[in-house]
Structure 1
């Protein structure tokens, strides 16, 4: 009995000891906690030409190795580099780089910064929360939050997110909910909201094995043979697609983006190449074929998008909500193809699967508005706004709602929608206000 009592008395202490000493599962941090944990790891990177003129500006992240990782395009035109944290700036030298991956490593001795903890992009899933920290235009650090919207390419994947990435933030860090670095933020589509990318952190190891001291500022990037700068890029991309040379197309598009970093068309072609590579790696993945449909839609190739979405639906969707989203995107595609009967059935199928699918409600609103069925459009837009849509959905929904109310002769409701739109897109709101007032 005494032995039993002793065990019962000691049990809480044993459990406490085990709780302290055993590895604990990682805890999800809030956005502010992530920022506090990583802010001392994110830096400003500047590049200068031989005359000391600034020719590149971006962000960078200090790694456990002591090197600073940033985008290749940030420093490619420079011969001298500076890395800064707040007001403290130190000279930096190029260690290695990989122009195809748009990444390079700098060394900056004497930099008093805290290295970031490394995670794995390969462990991310669509829908995971992520946080981008960078220094837009070289100013103070800022944090943007969003989710992983697509995983493109092979393993590890290129990360597409809804996180807003501003000019000057390229080369900054993309962090998971544990404050681990999972990607390096890079190009974004300037005219398409929330279509932003990050390169997987796993690529850093490959960059570290690259060419030491590569002469980045020696000369402009040479074009692919047979392709003139700023001319003939798409023609070359089409030829590589017809040849089904997806690796070649991917490498070519990276070069195109290095030459023209803000070129939306180059970004869309890069997406297409990445998606084809993923379908090769995962031929029976619903997500891979959905991404390919998405890429074709961005290029306005709706017939091919339709076939890719249909292919996606032929496989079991492992990701929650993907089946409904695919039907919604298929509805958008049929609408673009003027296949009205098929479009409305696709939207309805999406909503049968997930009545809260805001993408389907938004598409249905746009579809009804196009057919001048304005009361039905109003109802669909209202449903879309009731299901916590993404920011770009809010802009589209409030805009559509304002125009539909105006067509119904309900001017006060139209102006109320414009007032709500002003929170998301003041310029668009002003345009609609002037349009409605003149009616």
Structure 2
């Protein structure tokens, strides 16, 4: 298992004593409406060890979860309202970390609607999963970035989760499934990732899978560094401060696709890490993918560092219109810059 990316198991919640005090009315409503469709998954291996994850009903008798939850299992069950139901077979897309479990006894569990329109950075999200096998819990956040991979877009969000909620549902504010919580990067914040609902839609078209047995292969996020998707390589290189390597990767990425906004953004991050003016690279990323709060924030900081106050004010105002919750973080970065905290602010 990669030391940089780890699987999820538990959805983080505020430490307030009661659910009602910890969550807003919209989150409580989401919990009530979606809870019947979000199930606990129990994975037993040949030695009798039992791991717990989460699954989401996506069709009658079909539960979607993360393959790393079921990877070592010789027996699988899902639990709904205290009733344990046997999994008869599973459709495994191990590289995508997506498994569909066929559960005849769960035919009456209501499937959730699958969103079939694109997500946008800044959209609100609601996450639902289990905590250490207890009742499902809810958390919220926003779409931070969308990363193209294997024909769809992996979701990076500010919605917090940790070990225990693997395979849990990521929903939009209309209660439509947009992805499954899957992994997080070990360094920094806001590095939570969910696999996209488009992969679930594809998997539902496949024939039923074989009987439950341990799976071969490893997910895309757990590959050796050279085989990781570029967006994950950039996170690793940035976390290690390997700015020259990050710049080489970004320039190779750009050479292969001049219109890839993430590649230009990675170049900007490498340049900023080295103390070089990154305004042009960030501006190019912003031009290719406008209304991305991350790109706008980094561009604004670069403009601030070069004393272009008019451009900074314009970028900040644009960010406030698109993602008001991101402005506070931008202001904190600028204050850090003013105090000489670091080149990355």
1:53 to 42, 49, 64: 49
Which residue is 1:42 aligned to? 38
Which residue is 1:217 aligned to? 214
Which residue is 1:72 aligned to? 67
Change (3 A) 1:293 1:78: farther
Which residue is 1:358 aligned to? 328
Please state how far the C-alpha of 1:147 moved relative to its aligned partner.
Answer: 0.8
Q: How does 1:83-102 map to 2 (within 5 A)?
A: 83-102=78-97
2:144 is the alignment partner of 1:143: no
Structure 1 segments unaligned to the other structure (5+ residues):
1-28, 225-229, 238-247, 255-263, 332-341, 373-395, 397-439
Answer whether contact 1:328 1:363 (CA < 8 A) is retained.
Answer: no
Answer whether contact 1:351 1:360 (CA < 8 A) is retained.
Answer: no
2:330 is the alignment partner of 1:368: no
Partner Cα distance (2:26, 2:134) in 1:
24
2:300 is the alignment partner of 1:328: yes
Partner Cα distance (2:314, 2:209) in 1:
57
Which of these two proteins has the greater Rg computed from alpha carbons? Answer: 1
Partner Cα distance (1:295, 1:88) in 2:
50
Structure 2 segments unaligned to the other structure (5+ residues):
1-24, 241-245, 321-326
Which residue is 2:324 aligned to? none
Answer whether contact 1:152 1:160 (CA < 8 A) is retained.
Answer: yes
- Structure that is richer in strand per residue: 2
Partner Cα distance (1:199, 1:223) in 2:
11
Partner Cα distance (1:84, 1:49) in 2:
17
- Structure that is richer in helix per residue: 1
Which residue is 2:284 aligned to? 311
Partner Cα distance (1:86, 1:359) in 2:
41
Partner Cα distance (1:223, 1:143) in 2:
26
TM-score (norm 1): 0.57
2:229 to 250, 258, 278: 250
Q: How does 1:2-13 map to 2 (within 5 A)?
A: none
3-state SS in 1 of match to 2:203: helix
Q: How does 1:185-224 map to 2 (within 5 A)?
A: 185-208=181-204, 209=206, 212-213=209-210, 216-217=213-214, 221=217
Partner Cα distance (2:255, 2:202) in 1:
22
3-state SS in 1 of match to 2:110: coil
Answer whether contact 2:73 2:212 (CA < 8 A) is retained.
Answer: no
Which residue is 1:404 aligned to? none
Partner Cα distance (1:177, 1:276) in 2:
38
2:105 to 92, 101, 110: 110
